[in-house]
Structures are given as structure tokens and as C-alpha cells.
Amino acid sequence: MIDYIIGKVDQIGEDYLIVENNGIGYKINTSTNSILDSSRTTEAQKLHTNLIVREDGMFLFGFTTSEEMDAFKLLLTVSKVGPKVACGILSALKPGQLQRAILTKDFNALCKGQGVGRKTAERIVLELKDKIAGKAYDDLDTVEAALNSEYEEAIEALTSLGYSRYEVEKVLRTIETDDMIVEDIIKAGLRKLSF
């Protein structure tokens, strides 16, 4: 129904954006990755959207890339996976990482998504492995740092201290972590998070 919205991000929440378009503020539920992408510019931007209509209301979900929207729609085809769980998965994994996790049956990676337990991860792999095999998610260059195990360990350590994944990733993206060990990444992240 609403395929995309172009507008300026007026407000950023932990799991949503308010995008202003023609004097109307649209609340768009989204992933941490799309929030981080949106926070990089003050210019008007395009968000690919999907309107979900339920008994308790209408909810707009949107993402900065069409790949993330495709992955979101694909996750919604899995039984017992709703839009919030799908967004939680896409906050933990980018589309290329999600594809890799499904194809390699990496249940631990899928369980990083908020609200995803072992049974849900197994169901995702079972129901999507054939559907996702033919997809081509070309985001490997942009997620090189996120695939680094030290980087991921640092994220897990900092989020276990009570910081949100959004806060942690926003700070870690400002630090050159390529040649750092986990402990140094955590220390550098804590220094920036404590200000």
C-alpha cells in the first residue's frame, strides 16, 4: 500500500524513526542497522516501507535498503515470526549475514535477534533455506567489520552492560577496530559510551 516514503528524519527512537513528509510525521518501525544508516545524514532520504494491519492498529515498518525490506518480508513468511521479531533479527544481522546464517544453519547467529530462541531459529532455517538460496544480498563490503568476531564479541560484552545495540554500534563505528583485540575495543567503546 505504501511502498516507500521520502522525507527527513525528525526523530530517532531505539526501534523507530519519525520521518516528516509534507507536514506529516510517519512513525516507521525499523532495525538498528537502518537507524544507524538514517542517522548519517540530515538530508531527505528514502525508506522502503511495509504497512502491517492488525486488530490493534496499523503499523508501518521501513528500511533504508530494498535488500533489508526483502529480508523482512521473507522472515514474515515463517510461521510464528511477526514483524517485531523480524526487525529484531535484522537489528542483529544484515541481509547477507542472515542469508549466511540460514544457509550454514548457524542457529547461534539467528538467536542474537531479540525474541528468537532455538526453536524459532530452527524454524527459520527449515522454512527459508530453499527460498533464500537464490537471493543475492550484496552487502558483504559494508558489513566486513561486523563479521569480525572480535567486533561482535565487543558488541555482546557492551550490550550485556546495559547499553542498547544501537548505542554500542553507533559508538564502535567511530572507532578504527581493524587491528584491535576484543579487550581494547571494549575499553575504547566504554570510554566513548560513558560521555
56-92 per-position pLDDT tens digit: 999 999 999 999 999 999 999 999 899 999 999 999 9
Domains of the chain: 4-63 (2.40.50.140), 67-132 (1.10.150.20), 148-193 (1.10.8)
pLDDT tops 70 at residue 145? no
The predicted model gives 25-35 an average pLDDT of 94
**Rg of the chain over CA atoms, in angstroms?**
17
Mean pLDDT across 164-177? 81
Return the pLDDT at 125.
Answer: 94
* Whole-prediction pTM: 0.72
**Strand pairing report for 4-12 and 16-21:** antiparallel
Q: What is the pLDDT of residue 149?
A: 66
Q: By C-alpha distance, which of 36, 76, 91, 84 is closest to 56?
A: 84
What is residue 141's three-state secondary structure?
A: coil
Output the pLDDT for position 59. Answer: 95
